[in-house]
A and B are shown apart, each in its own frame.
Chain A
Amino acid sequence: MAAAISIQGLTKKYVDVWQKQEVVAVNNLNLTVQEGEIFGFLGRNGAGKTTTIKMLLGLVFPTAGDATLLGKPMGDNAVKHHLAYLPEETYFYDSMTGWDILDFYARLFKIPEPERRRRVQICLEKVRLQPDAWHRSIRGYSKGMRQRTGIAQALINDPKVLFLDEPTSGLDPIAHAELRDIVASLKDEGKTVFLSSHQLADVELICTRVAIIHRGKLLTEGTIKDLVSGDFAEVVVQGKTLRNGAIDKIKLLAPHCDMGPDDTLRITLVDEEKINAIIDIVRSAEARVISVVPHKRTLEDVFVETVRKEDGS
């Protein structure tokens, strides 16, 4: 598969004029996004996600590094015919109708009539915007309707690569689900989606691969499956008699043990097959097994761990 987006050493620095301090927004980012995948780009607020996207689209200029989009250098005007961007907090010209806005953007792609009219209609239908709202002023649109219009303008040129920044933020559950499905369906059309989002449940559901950046630095990257691997179980046992050598035996099987108050021992172990052996040791020590709980790791867990680990170091 060819790379839709290829980023090498992309860096963006700012200098604080008064304090004469350098601020690094994006730090030597290296990333590749294959064609046809939905790529999740995760990070805290201010991590550098939007700055990265803006550099790729030529809205902001890098300090160092390079990138290609569909084989063309970033900022190249011709390749923009195949790109689309839905910014976070989309603003439109409020006086215009949904139809007019799409028509305007279609003109920017030099799409002639009657093709322009056809495309506008298709895009509005695709995002499931009610037809009676098409010719109403955007000022009267709800948040969901605005987001739909935003996605519609991103689809007007039938792009190959879409940059979506928080497409489902602030939506009600139903609109949220609908828009998520729309984004997911883009993969089926062979489009590449570069998705920046805080909705980790959505990312886990629809993305092929994700990357996590923090303070401009790429921390980790990989498929969802690889990142969230590492299920574990938690066993809670209790008993004074545990102190008579049982704990030492248990630690051989599961190094992560925490003795809490009331002689309660919490054991975390990855290898579920050792659970039986531990239970045998506990019963031999005439202690009690309080609970055995299997834990499945989520993307959120991965995200939090990764970021905290970086902050700790």
Chain B
Amino acid sequence: MVPLAIARQTVREALRRRVMWIFLICGLFLIALGPVFGFLSPKDSQTVLRSLGLAAILLAGLFITIVTCIYLIPVEIERRTIYTILSKPVQRYEFVLGKFLGGFAVVFINIAAMGVVFLLMIRFQEGKVPPDMYKGVFLTFFQMMLLAALTIFFSTFATPVLNFFMSFGIFIVGNLSSVTESLTTSRVKATQIAGTIIHYLLPNFGNFNIQNTLIHPTQEITNPDVFIKQNILYALIYSAVLLILAVIIFDRREV
């Protein structure tokens, strides 16, 4: 009950942040721009709508997630609202868990809002919504969920500015999963070790990038449902790792 109460409060406060709304509105605007390119050939306008829509969800989602989550814990400490929480029978892990759940809920709300508009645009333009498009939005949510977990973990010890760059940096490195995977088979031993550490220890955001196969349906994945389930499980497990690490660090944090 306590983590849920904190999560509810977190969502409430996060949804008040103007910067989050700015990014959300920009994302929605970009998605809504898709049908404007209807003057192109049907194939081209479909490609532009899908690519623009998915990219807008990803881009807006990225900034919304980072900008919202970097403040979730630090702002409580800075404003001292955390005193009246931790002085009550609230375990530190309950507080951290509440923040994680709140962060995930904020990400869900934003991705869902953009996802609904995107799918409506697809319906409007193409007459129906291919099931693959739902998968695209779904995977983007889990990608952002993992990013939210990472950002909140960093927020247990880093300032918001430092956190912004660390989260962004690891998101970029994590997207290079194809590169890091190729390093694991490098003939140079040191590169191989470094590549293995990075590829298996850092969160692999690149797993979730299947935009190309959605935009160009001619590119196929074998067993797409298995792939998606594996990625969801990966996101959940890695988020749990980050949650536990956040608890270990926050247990020691003086407020």
Contacts and interface: CB of A to CB of B under 8 A. Distances in A.
B16 A77 contact: no
B17 to A, nearest CB: 11
A78 interface: yes
Contact of A104 (B9, B79, B86, B91): B9
A226 B85 CA distance: 38
Contact of B1 (A57, A95, A110, A163): A110
A287 to B, nearest CB: 62
Secondary structure dominating the interface of B: loop
Nearest to B80: A91
A91 B79 contact: yes
Given A58-B86, A95-B16, A109-B89, A89 B80 contact: yes
B90 A108 contact: yes
Interface in A67-83: 77-78, 80-81, 83
B225 interface: no
A97 to B, nearest CB: 12
- Max chain B CB contacts within 10 Å: which of A59, A96, A108, A157? A108
B12 interface: yes
B179 interface: no
A229 B80 CA distance: 40
Contacts of A96: 12
B41 interface: no
B89 A78 contact: yes
B83 A95 contact: no
B1 A93 contact: no
Interface string B52-90: 000000000000000000000000000111011111111
B87 A59 contact: yes
A95 B88 contact: no
B67 to A, nearest CB: 18
B255 interface: yes
Contacts of B220: none
